[in-house]
Amino acid sequence: MASEVNIIAVGGGKGGIGKSVICTNLAIGMALSDQKVVLMDTDFGASNLHALLGINNPLTGFQDIFNDTNTDKNSLLIDTGVSNLKFVSGAGDNPGSANIDSEKINTVISFIKNLATDTVLLDLGPGTNYNILDTILSN
């Protein structure tokens, strides 16, 4: 098991208030200061954080581990072009992906806690639904 990972969750009550911009800039700043950082889009219903990183149509994302438990979780870590910064895409815009069950939330939490990194930044979806609260409370 990896050493303890610092988890920073960035959230808010509604969309369009700058959560993704803050999360992305914080992740880049931390990575440029020689910290190993993983930035995750945990807005499972409307993931779009990849656009802020200049990544078009990520080939992998959380949907891969939701649909296939044998997926190598390290394959989800996408190179961003910024030293020390990896990215994990959200589940995508598939119907029902915003309402994932507790088993899938536990998969995400386990994945986060076992990463070999210094810090994980979570760009949370808007609102206060159970998925978001479970992810925040996992700290």
Between CA 37 and CA 40, with CA 38 as vertex, the angle to 5 degrees is: 145
pLDDT-based confidence at 99, cuts 50/70/90? low
List, for residues 13-39, the tens digit of each pLDDT value. Answer: 777 788 899 999 999 999 999 999 999
Residue 135: is its pLDDT beyond 80? Answer: no
What are the C-alpha distances in Å from 121 to residues 25, 56, 70, 115? 11, 20, 25, 12
- Assign residue 126 the CATH number of its domain: 3.40.50.300
- pTM for the whole thing? 0.84
| CB neighbours of residue 79 within 10 Å | 9
Report if residue 1 sits inside a domain: no
Q: What is the pLDDT of residue 37?
A: 98
Domain that holds residue 122: 6-137
Report if residue 29 sits inside a domain: yes
Q: How many CA atoms lie within 13 A of 21 on its CB side?
A: 4
Read off φ and ψ for residue 114, nearest 5 degrees: -105, 10
